[in-house]
Amino acid sequence: MPNLPVIVVEDDPFTRLIPLVLDPNASEERHAAFADFMSTDEPDFAGWCARVRAGSPGLYPAEVRMVTSEAEMRASLKDCIALVVESFRVGPDDLAAASRLKVLQKFGTGLRNIDTAACAARGIKLLTLRRRANISCAEHAFGLMLMLARKLDALDGLVTIKRIEAAQGAYRLYDRRHTPGGNFSRVGGTRALNGATIGIIGMGEIGREIAIRAGAFDMRVLYHQRTRIPDSEERELKARHVPLPALLAESDWIVPQLPTLPSTRDLLGRAELAQVKPGACIVNVANAAIVNRDALIEALRKGVLGGVALDVHYQEPVPDDDELLTFDNVILTPRMAGSPRFNGLRDFEQLITVLARELAA
């Protein structure tokens, strides 16, 4: 089919949805793989693709060029009318190579990697997307924090005398003539998030979503990364930039939120975990490799950590004999932070339909 609109897309496991909707030459194998992946929440993936196409008139059929590097992106920009990027840098030279470019879509909200002035100078419409999956990751992080803080996994069902005695020993009533009756199962060691300090390592888009929710709990927010965010954003998030050792020493909750890169692997090793405030908890919904596994297990054995919650793992599925499964203060979930699948589906329905509308304008 000649003269198809050309869309260049930074390759990412989720942006691979775009050609499945818009490019008639998209891989059938990939269609089948995504239909299987989405089946837990969307049993009719083909129908979803058809509905999004119908809501994006003029954009189907298209030639979608998936690119895996900035160099490949630059080489693919000729005849491109729309560009979708997540982390790739886009500057004046890239825009000069894209003489037909009308719309640049950031898959996210942060624009540090895009020369916004150059886009404005060339009349290129710049779009952003607050990703529902990022919001869900922040919600899951707080779900894990609340499980650890309130011991929800241990408390679930601990409401009968038989169950309380199995877990706690002989059951004793409080003297209700004189006292309230709360915590009649006599479980100790719960804690509050209110007034606690959260340390976020990496104030990217998910880190920001976590900081927003920390504010709702009236938590003190510290963060660490190589580059400080603008003062206005620090004020908005009520977040303070500190060196990593200070974050580790002061935080009750440590949330590493960094991408999987060689530079982030084992960022938290024995030396770093030795600096952690006694009783602090680590909650990781980003990638397991940020925290050295051996150092993490050693810190748990020594009782340095108050708890650990992981939604990402050193091997997936986790082996049945994984030592992390043996600790009472460790919560492990099967990579659920970005779910349900509707988060991603709605993100891309919005992205594609808005692209169609802007290109038709």
- Residue 56, both tokens: 């994006």
Rounded to two decimals, what is the model's pTM? 0.94
Helix, strand or coil for residue 253? strand
* Euclidean distance between CA atoms 278 and 146, whole angstroms: 19
Give per-residue pLDDT as tens, 324-349.
Answer: 999 999 999 999 999 999 999 999 99
- Token digits of residue 157: 């069902």
Q: What is the pLDDT of residue 215?
A: 97
Please compute the mean of the pLDDT values over residues 233-239 and round it to a whole number: 97
Q: What is the pLDDT of residue 69?
A: 97
Q: Sign of dihedral through CA atoms 242, 211, 304, 278?
A: positive
pLDDT value at 310 more than 60: yes
Contact 215, 197 (CB under 8 A): no
- On the question of pLDDT at 176 being above 70, the answer is yes
pLDDT averaged over the chain?
A: 96
Q: In the CATH hierarchy, which fold is given to the domain comprising 6-129?
A: Rossmann fold (3.40.50)
- Is-contact 135 113, C-beta < 8 A? no
Give percent above pLDDT 70 in the chain: 99
For the stretch 113-139, pLDDT in tens is 999 999 999 999 999 999 999 999 999
- When pLDDT is averaged across residues 269-274 and rounded to a whole number, the result is 98
**Residue ranges covered by each domain of the chain:** 6-129, 134-151+189-332
Q: What is the pLDDT of residue 3?
A: 81
pLDDT score recorded for residue 361: 83
Contacts of 34 (CB under 8 A, 6+ apart): 16, 17, 20, 45
Longest dimension (CA), the chain: 85
CATH topology of domain 134-151+189-332: Rossmann fold (3.40.50)
Helices assigned H by DSSP within 83-194: 92-97, 116-121, 132-150, 152-155, 161-168
- What tens digit of pLDDT does each residue of 278-307 get? 999 999 999 999 999 999 999 999 999 999
Q: 68: pLDDT confidence band, cut at 50, 70 and 90?
A: very high
Rounded to whole angstroms, the Cα distance separating 137 from 204 reads: 12
Band (2; pLDDT cuts 50, 70, 90): low
Mean pLDDT, residues 75-102 taken together: 96
Separation CA 356–CA 53 (nearest Å): 10
Residue 1 pLDDT > 60, yes or no?
Answer: no
Average pLDDT over residues 3-13: 95
pLDDT of residue 267: 96
Q: Taking residues 219-230, report their average pLDDT.
A: 96
Residue 65 DSSP one-character state:
E
